[in-house]
Chain A
Amino acid sequence: MATKPDSVFRSLDRKAAAIVEFTLRQYRTRTSTWVVLGVGFTALALIFMIYIDVMGSEFESIDNDGDSFDEDGDGYPSGQERRLGTDPFSDESHPGMFDPPIEPEPASNYINEDGFDWDVTGSSGSDSTGYDNDGDCLNSNKTASQKDTNENGIPCDIIVQITTSPSGEIITKVIADAGVDEDPDEDAYSREATHLAFVLSIGKLGFVLLLGIFLPLFLATGLIRDEMTSGTMHFMLAKPVARSEIFLYRVLGYLGIVWPYIIALGILGALVSGFVGSGDDFFRFADLGVWLAIIFATMMATLVYGMLFNALGVLWKYGIILAIPFAAWELGMALLSMGAPDSTILRFSVIGWALMIVDSAAMMVWPNLDVFILMGEWGGGGQGSDIFGSSSLRGTVPLYFFSSKPGLGLSGFASSIVATLVLLVQAVVFWFIGGALFKGKEIQ
């Protein structure tokens, strides 16, 4: 047998390995483990099925600027008349009177005829962008002032203004010259927006919140408590291992089953959304960064909650009852983080920091997300394609809801590092508390 240099550390990790292995095998023999993991998988699978269904369906094209109608009944769609310079509101003026006469085009040519051509990055300031694809702005019959209705001296463009008010609020404004990017392609935009919204919502709610809280709630609360209740704790306590070590190693054993499960589900999610998601490419490689962050954030959440719930289990026989208010608080914080990611109260939660990791990654991977949302909200500037009279395109509202800025005002990378460190500190604090509680506990 090979002899290895020995140290206190070696002896410790022998004990750690024994307890971790033991804990893993114990989980494997319990039906409850498989039920919890199975329910988690089923819940996420259902959400993914909805996602696949939505992405597989056609997004209805809308004539955002209303120029596919033949207002004056002369057989020519308004858009064609406008482009060729005849009066769209008079049946005595139409391109059929030209020499040679021009045949009317089908109305469908005037739906989605002028899509987004924005190349601004979304940094603050005022930018000029956009291009008139269908030529109804660049029309040679128009005067220079008609071509520059936003009065910035550039004909047929769009002003995208992002300014910060003195109170720190970000104000965005889109001012377009008439007829520029006024009829975007709904299918292209909404498909992309829906995809992004789905990745963020599955990541934040499905993974970080649902898995992040429910796995530890059902799997970590009994790590010490169940052994105390059944009397089998005596075997472990009769060995030269400190109680706070047992506490830690049991949590490591729990992570040994929970982390691979999260990684497997995360990879599955990345594959499904990568293949099914919008875009011309075969696979959306860029999204992998966000999925990585989702997996990592969920792992961190299960670590912190694992320590916390295990400690609650040590504290009281019905630790799971103590854990429920925490779970409710965290659910509230998760929703708050989507609406108001700057709230100070979020700093007193676990989920706020975990979601910050996802938001940071989204900011890094999709740098144009803000402009993209702005685009959807503006939606061509037309009047009310939906019942609320808003011109925003389908998919914008959920994307707006589920995406948020990491609230620290730092760069994406910096805020993800800060969030990770905070979560680690939280885990260590809960370990100390749990270890101390366990150490002071009289076990009959």
Chain B
Amino acid sequence: MIPDFDQQGQAQTKEWTPDVQAPAILLENVSKSYGRIFALSNITLALNGGVTGILGMNGAGKSTLFNLLMGKIKVSQGSIKLFGTNPWKNPAPYARVGFVPEHEKMYDWMTAHGFVSTFARLNGLTRDEAGIEADRVLEFVGLTDVAFKKIGQFSKGMRQRVKIAHALVNDPELIILDEPLQGCDPLARTTIMNVIRELGKMGRTVLVSSHILQEIERITEQIVILHQGRLLALGNLHSIRERLDQIPHRISIEAENPKALAKDIIDIDEVFGISFPDGRNVSIQTHNLGAIHARLPKIIVENGHKISAIDNPDDDLASILGYLTNGGRV
């Protein structure tokens, strides 16, 4: 019983035997209420394998769902199982889970490598193993160059990627990402989306939440729509999506030189209007959001524009929700 002070070599400990028959996530009639307000009501859901997008407006219950899955809050009714185990009672399933929280606050004083390897050790890895694994996942998210820089100096997109790296360090079978694309620049978005798609191809179960339809659309077609705590829709997005292309959309880009950016953007066929709401932003109007989002990163990179934020102020999810709740009228 001598403590493992030098922490070299390999860890082989398995303290918990997972139920191999059980799906990664199983919710049965799950409700979560705060007083008389239901944050989630009567959700039944089983997920195993592939990438699933959790769509919903702010307050729809996405974060509540994830907090329940991560054992941070207790179900009011129903049962929730991660690999066959109740996560509120037993943290053991997290050996097979990676979680990317929504919270922006990170340990700014740590290096990316320090952060990832420290938290890898909480999975029971030795110091050696944790270092090797941290190198691996930081390369996977494309941060090898800045691995030994302080997180405090990172841009938002880089911070998100550090969080994703930290969640992947134990080679999890289930990865839960809470709004991973929020506030990221286009380049980081593309990288993160590629990472998520890659994980899906590797056969992992991935849950991504977002309130922006186009983001999810570029990652997966399998979606769960939450609205006011209820499960509104479950399945393929494709058919619903087609109808929505008829509505005009806006994209707002915050750039260092909005006028120059606008000049390059006007060449895209799908753009039918450009305006400058203030000195920092360009507002683009289009009928085909997907096409713009596909071409925008290339234009920005090729012309060397400096972008600090990109946003869709027209929440398309609102339109979908309107469509789903009003019997098909947009």
Chain A contact residues, CB within 8 Å of chain B: 1-4, 6-11, 13-15, 17-19, 21-22, 25-26, 29, 230-232, 234-243, 442-444
The A-contacting residues of B in range 7-34, CB under 8 angstroms, are 7-13, 15-16
Q: Are A235 and B119 in contact (CB under 8 A)?
A: yes
**For the complex, what is the distance from the CA of A22 to the CA of B115, rounded to whole Å?**
9
Q: Enumerate chain A residues within 8 angstroms of B167, measured Cβ to Cβ.
A: 238
Q: Are A238 and B94 in contact (CB under 8 A)?
A: yes
User: Of the candidates A9, A15, A18, A238, which one forms a contact with B99 in the assembled complex, judged by CB atoms under 8 Å apart?
Assistant: A238
Q: Are A13 and B3 in contact (CB under 8 A)?
A: yes
The A-contacting residues of B in range 55-87, CB under 8 angstroms, are 67, 70-74
Tell me, rounded to whole Å, the shortest Cβ–Cβ distance linking A165 to chain B: 53
Is B125's beta carbon under 8 Å from chain A?
yes
Tell me, rounded to whole Å, the shortest Cβ–Cβ distance linking B267 to chain A: 42
**For the complex, what is the distance from the CA of A369 to the CA of B167, rounded to whole Å?**
63
**For the complex, what is the distance from the CA of A444 to the CA of B118, rounded to whole Å?**
23
What are 8 A-B contacts defined by CB distance under 8 Å? A10-B11, A14-B7, A29-B109, A232-B106, A234-B101, A238-B97, A238-B98, A240-B123
Tell me, rounded to whole Å, the shortest Cβ–Cβ distance linking A227 to chain B: 10
**For the complex, what is the distance from the CA of A271 to the CA of B127, rounded to whole Å?**
39
**For the complex, what is the distance from the CA of A18 to the CA of B170, rounded to whole Å?**
15
**For the complex, what is the distance from the CA of A230 to the CA of B5, rounded to whole Å?**
31
**For the complex, what is the distance from the CA of A10 to the CA of B6, rounded to whole Å?**
11
Q: Are A232 and B105 in contact (CB under 8 A)?
A: yes
Is B126's beta carbon under 8 Å from chain A?
yes
Q: Are A239 and B105 in contact (CB under 8 A)?
A: no
Is B92's beta carbon under 8 Å from chain A?
yes
Given contacts A232-B107, A238-B101, contact A1 B9 (CB under 8 A): yes
Q: Are B119 and A239 in contact (CB under 8 A)?
A: yes
**For the complex, what is the distance from the CA of A21 to the CA of B71, rounded to whole Å?**
25
A-B Cβ contacts below 8 A, count: 115
Beyond A234-B99, A239-B122, A240-B92, 18 additional contacts (C-beta under 8 Å) are A4-B4, A4-B8, A6-B11, A10-B13, A15-B122, A18-B118, A19-B122, A230-B105, A234-B70, A234-B103, A235-B119, A235-B166, A236-B122, A238-B94, A239-B94, A242-B91, A443-B67, A443-B72
Q: Are B107 and A240 in contact (CB under 8 A)?
A: no
Tell me, rounded to whole Å, the shortest Cβ–Cβ distance linking B67 to chain A: 7
User: In the complex, what residue of chain A is closest to B95 when comparing beta carbons?
Assistant: A240
Given contacts A4-B4, A4-B9, A235-B166, contact A14 B124 (CB under 8 A): yes
**For the complex, what is the distance from the CA of A231 to the CA of B5, rounded to whole Å?**
30
User: Of the candidates A9, A17, A234, A243, which one forms a contact with B7 in the assembled complex, judged by CB atoms under 8 Å apart?
Assistant: A17
Q: Enumerate chain B residues within 8 angstroms of A8, measured Cβ to Cβ.
A: 13, 15
Is B93's beta carbon under 8 Å from chain A?
yes
Tell me, rounded to whole Å, the shortest Cβ–Cβ distance linking B154 to chain A: 15
Q: Enumerate chain A residues within 8 angstroms of B16, measured Cβ to Cβ.
A: 240
Tell me, rounded to whole Å, the shortest Cβ–Cβ distance linking A6 to chain B: 5
Q: Enumerate chain B residues within 8 angstroms of A3, measured Cβ to Cβ.
A: 9-10
Given contacts A234-B101, A237-B70, contact A2 B9 (CB under 8 A): yes
Tell me, rounded to whole Å, the shortest Cβ–Cβ distance linking A60 to chain B: 57
**For the complex, what is the distance from the CA of A8 to the CA of B101, rounded to whole Å?**
28
**For the complex, what is the distance from the CA of A36 to the CA of B167, rounded to whole Å?**
35
**For the complex, what is the distance from the CA of A14 to the CA of B170, rounded to whole Å?**
15
Q: Are B67 and A9 in contact (CB under 8 A)?
A: no
| Interface core residue of A238, A241, A442, A444 (most chain B CB under 10 Å) | A238
Q: Enumerate chain A residues within 8 angstroms of B9, measured Cβ to Cβ.
A: 1-4
Given contacts A1-B128, A11-B15, A14-B4, contact A239 B123 (CB under 8 A): yes
Is B37's beta carbon under 8 Å from chain A?
no
**For the complex, what is the distance from the CA of A414 to the CA of B3, rounded to whole Å?**
31
**For the complex, what is the distance from the CA of A26 to the CA of B110, rounded to whole Å?**
9
Is B259's beta carbon under 8 Å from chain A?
no
Is B249's beta carbon under 8 Å from chain A?
no
Q: Are B103 and A231 in contact (CB under 8 A)?
A: yes
Q: Enumerate chain A residues within 8 angstroms of B11, measured Cβ to Cβ.
A: 6, 10-11, 14
User: Of the candidates A235, A241, A442, which one forms a contact with B74 in the assembled complex, judged by CB atoms under 8 Å apart?
Assistant: A442
**For the complex, what is the distance from the CA of A25 to the CA of B118, rounded to whole Å?**
11
**For the complex, what is the distance from the CA of A15 to the CA of B91, rounded to whole Å?**
14
Is B121's beta carbon under 8 Å from chain A?
yes
Q: Are A444 and B73 in contact (CB under 8 A)?
A: yes
Tell me, rounded to whole Å, the shortest Cβ–Cβ distance linking B300 to chain A: 31
Q: Enumerate chain B residues within 8 angstroms of A1, measured Cβ to Cβ.
A: 8-10, 128
Q: Are A21 and B10 in contact (CB under 8 A)?
A: no
Q: Are B124 and A11 in contact (CB under 8 A)?
A: yes
Tell me, rounded to whole Å, the shortest Cβ–Cβ distance linking A295 to chain B: 24
| 3 nearest A-B residue pairs (beta carbon) | A231-B103, A18-B121, A239-B122
Q: Are B4 and A17 in contact (CB under 8 A)?
A: yes
Q: Enumerate chain A residues within 8 angstroms of B109, measured Cβ to Cβ.
A: 25-26, 29
Q: Enumerate chain B residues within 8 angstroms of A18, measured Cβ to Cβ.
A: 118-119, 121-122, 130
Q: Are A21 and B118 in contact (CB under 8 A)?
A: yes
Q: Enumerate chain A residues within 8 angstroms of B74, measured Cβ to Cβ.
A: 442
Q: Enumerate chain A residues within 8 angstroms of B12, measured Cβ to Cβ.
A: 6
Q: Are A234 and B72 in contact (CB under 8 A)?
A: yes
Given contacts A8-B13, A14-B4, A239-B123, contact A442 B105 (CB under 8 A): no
**For the complex, what is the distance from the CA of A249 to the CA of B67, rounded to whole Å?**
23
User: In the complex, what residue of chain B is closest to A243 when comparing beta carbons?
Assistant: B91
**For the complex, what is the distance from the CA of A298 to the CA of B245, rounded to whole Å?**
71
Q: Are B91 and A14 in contact (CB under 8 A)?
A: no
User: Of the candidates A14, A19, A235, A238, which one forms a contact with B126 in the assembled complex, judged by CB atoms under 8 Å apart?
Assistant: A14
**For the complex, what is the distance from the CA of A314 to the CA of B3, rounded to whole Å?**
29
User: In the complex, what residue of chain A is closest to B110 when comparing beta carbons?
Assistant: A25
Tell me, rounded to whole Å, the shortest Cβ–Cβ distance linking B138 to chain A: 16
Tell me, rounded to whole Å, the shortest Cβ–Cβ distance linking A9 to chain B: 6
**For the complex, what is the distance from the CA of A4 to the CA of B123, rounded to whole Å?**
18
Q: Are A14 and B125 in contact (CB under 8 A)?
A: yes
Q: Enumerate chain B residues within 8 angstroms of A17, measured Cβ to Cβ.
A: 3-5, 7, 121
Q: Enumerate chain A residues within 8 angstroms of B125, measured Cβ to Cβ.
A: 14
Tell me, rounded to whole Å, the shortest Cβ–Cβ distance linking A28 to chain B: 9
| Interface core residue of A4, A7, A443 (most chain B CB under 10 Å) | A4
Q: Enumerate chain A residues within 8 angstroms of B71, measured Cβ to Cβ.
A: 237
Q: Enumerate chain A residues within 8 angstroms of B5, measured Cβ to Cβ.
A: 17
Tell me, rounded to whole Å, the shortest Cβ–Cβ distance linking A20 to chain B: 11
Tell me, rounded to whole Å, the shortest Cβ–Cβ distance linking B18 to chain A: 11
| Interface core residue of A3, A11, A235 (most chain B CB under 10 Å) | A235
**For the complex, what is the distance from the CA of A6 to the CA of B14, rounded to whole Å?**
10
Tell me, rounded to whole Å, the shortest Cβ–Cβ distance linking B133 to chain A: 13
**For the complex, what is the distance from the CA of A18 to the CA of B118, rounded to whole Å?**
6
